[in-house]
C-alpha cells in the first residue's frame, strides 16, 4: 500500500477569491492564483514518494454559479502546475446527502480503494474544518492550514500550520521511512 497526501483546493493549493467578505472559488481563469509555496512543498512530498491528490468540494456547480467545464479547467491548470496525481471532486451541495462531500470521507475512501492507499499512513491538508474532519473520518493524519475562515473551533487537527510550507515540513518529519 502507498502513502498519500490529500490537499483541499481553494484556500490550500490556490488562493481564495473574496466574495462579499467570504472566501470563494475562482469563477474566471484570471482569478486563479496558486499559493506561492505550493510548487516547492508539493515537489518535496512527491520526491519523498507520496501520492499527491487534491480533494475538493465544488458546490458552486450544484448552485449554478459555475460550470463543471470551468472547474475542470481550473483542475487541469493545477495538474499542470503542481506535481498532483489526480483531482477528486464532489459536485454536490450540502442538501444532496452524498458520501463524497467533505466532511464525509467518501472522496478519500474511494481514492484509497482505487489507488491502493494506506489511509492510516496518509495525510489530509486543508484550510477548513471540513477538510480536517474528512481526513480524520478516513483515518488520515489531519492538518489545518490556518486561515481567518478556518473555523478552527469546529475541528481537531493533529497539527495546525501557519502555511503550506509548514504543513509539508511536518508531513515529511513524520511521514518518511
pLDDT tens by residue, 76-126: 999 999 999 999 999 999 888 899 999 999 999 999 999 999 999 999 999
Q: How confident is the model at residue 175 (pLDDT cuts 50, 70, 90)?
A: low
Phi/psi for 97 (5° steps) reads: 55, 40
Strand ranges (E), 60-139:
86-90, 123-126
Q: Which residues form the catalytic set?
A: 8, 10
C-beta neighbour count of 112 within 10 angstroms:
24
Q: Give 14's contacts (C-beta < 8 A, 6+ positions apart).
A: 26, 32, 33, 34, 35, 38, 74, 78
**In whole angstroms, what is the distance from residue 88 CA to residue 111 CA?**
8
Grid coordinates representing 55? 480533494
* Section 45-61 average pLDDT: 97
Q: How many domains does the chain have?
A: 1
What's the pLDDT score for residue 96?
A: 87
Q: How confident is the model at residue 176 (pLDDT cuts 50, 70, 90)?
A: low
Does residue 139 register a pLDDT over 80? yes
* Section 35-45 average pLDDT: 98
pTM reported for the whole predicted model: 0.96
* Section 131-146 average pLDDT: 98
Contact of 25 with 10, CB cutoff 8 Å:
yes
Burial of 130-153, coded b for 16+ CB within 10 Å and e otherwise, reads: bbbbbbbbbbbbbbbbbbeebeee
Contact of 25 with 17, CB cutoff 8 Å:
yes
Does residue 177 register a pLDDT over 60? no
Domain that holds residue 115: 4-175
Q: How far is CA 44 from CA 49, 58, 116, 137, 175, in A?
A: 9, 27, 22, 26, 12
CATH number at residue 104: 3.40.50.1000
Amino acid at each position: 500500500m502507498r502513502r498519500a497526501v490529500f490537499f483541499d483546493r481553494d484556500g490550500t493549493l490556490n488562493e481564495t477569491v473574496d466574495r462579499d467578505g467570504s472566501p470563494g472559488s475562482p469563477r474566471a481563469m484570471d482569478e486563479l492564483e496558486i499559493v506561492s509555496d505550493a510548487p516547492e512543498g508539493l515537489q518535496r512530498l512527491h520526491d519523498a514518494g507520496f501520492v499527491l491528490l487534491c480533494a475538493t468540494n465544488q458546490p458552486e456547480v450544484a448552485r449554478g454559479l459555475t460550470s463543471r467545464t470551468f472547474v475542470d479547467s481550473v483542475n487541469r491548470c493545477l495538474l499542470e502546475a503542481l506535481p498532483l496525481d489526480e483531482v477528486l471532486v464532489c459536485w454536490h451541495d450540502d442538501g444532496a446527502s452524498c458520501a463524497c462531500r467533505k466532511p464525509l470521507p467518501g472522496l478519500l475512501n474511494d481514492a484509497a480503494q482505487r489507488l491502493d492507499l494506506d489511509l492510516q499512513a496518509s495525510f489530509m491538508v486543508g484550510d477548513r474544518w471540513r477538510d480536517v474532519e474528512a481526513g480524520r473520518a478516513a483515518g488520515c493524519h489531519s492538518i489545518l492550514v490556518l486561515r481567518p475562515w478556518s473555523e478552527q473551533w469546529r475541528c481537531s487537527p493533529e497539527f495546525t500550520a501557519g502555511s503550506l510550507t509548514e504543513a509539508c515540513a511536518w508531513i515529511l518529519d513524520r511521514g518518511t521511512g
